[in-house]
Amino acid sequence: MTGNEYGGRLGEEFFTPGSSSFTEFLAAHRPELLSTRRVLPDGVRAAPDQVPHGTTVLALSFRDGVLIAGDRRATMGNLIAQRDLEKVHPADDHTAVAFAGTVGLAVDMVKLYQVELAHFEKIEGVAMTLDGKARRLAGMIRQNLGQAMQGLAVVPLLVGYDPARTAGERGRIFSFDIAGGLYEKAGFHAEGSGSPYARGALKKLFRTGLDRREAALTALQALYDAADDDSATGGPDISRQIFPIVSVITEDGFERLPETETAALSREMVEQRRSRPDGPNATP
C-alpha cells in the first residue's frame, strides 16, 4: 500500500471513492494494520501484571476553555512499569485526548486518532466538528471491544474547544466506556483507577469561572488526592523532577503548560499540604 509493491505507483484503492475515514480505509484494504482489530486466541486473557496500565487522567472546564491533565505512572500489577509516561496528547489544534488503561494499545489508538482527524480535514477540506470527533473516537473504541473483554481495555478522555458554543461554555469534556458508549460531562471528569478520588477532589474544588492558574492547581490537587489513595497513581516526584502533565485548550489552540510552570505549581501545592495533608476545603 506504500506504492513500492506497485512499482512506485499508488494502488487502485487510493483512487476508489469511499469514506473520509482513515480507519475505514485501513479496515477495507489493510485490516492487519489496525491494532484494535487484533483479538487474542479464544480462552486467552491478558494477565494484569504482564501489561503496563496507565492511570489517572482528568479534565475540567475553566474561564477560557478546558484543561486536561494526567499523572505519569504506569503499573504492571503491583510493580511500577514507568514513572514518566505521557498520557495527555493533542489530537489536533483544538482537541486533546488522554488515556487510562492498556498503554500499548492506547498509544496506538491516540496516533491513529490523530491521523484520522488530519485525514478527514484533507479529504473534506474542513475540520470535523467536535461532536463528530467524539463520535469518531467512540467508533474506534468500539473496534477494540474484543480485546477489552480480554483484559486489554483503553478508556480515553476527550476534550475540545467548541467555538459554536456560547462564551464560558466552549470547553467541552467527553468520556467513554469500553464498548464505545459516549457521554458528555459538565464541568469536570476523571478516568482511571484513581478517578473516584480525583472526582471527589474536583467535586469539592471546582467552580465556574476559574482562571488558568486556579484550574491547574485544582487539577494538581485532584491528582495528589488520587495518588494519596490509589497506589497505581503517581503524585509529583520532586526528587526526580517528574510532574503531572497539564495542558489547556483555548481559542488560541492547544498548549501544554511548560514544565517550569507545572513544577512551580506542584511545589506550591506540596508545601500547602504540609499544613493541610487532606488538601484545601471547598470554597464557600
Active site residues: 55
Decide: 53 and 158 in contact? Cβ < 8 Å.
Answer: no
The angle that helices 103-124 and 22-29 make with each other, rounded to 10 degrees, is 110
Q: HEC profile for the chain?
A: CCCHHHCCCCCHHHHCCCCCCHHHHHHHHCHHHCHHHCCCCCCCCCCCCCCCEECCEEEEEECCEEEEEECCCEEECCEEEECCCCCEEEEECCEEEEEEEEHHHHHHHHHHHHHHHHHHHHHHCCCCCHHHHHHHHHHHHHHCHHHHCCCCCEEEEEEEECCCCCCCCCEEEEEECCCCCEEEECCEEEECCCHHHHHHHHHHHCCCCCCHHHHHHHHHHHHHHHHHHCCCCCCCECCCCECCEEEEEECCEEEECCHHHHHHHHHHHHHHHHHCCCCCCCCC
Residue 126 backbone zone (phi > 0: left; psi -120 to 50: alpha; other: beta): beta
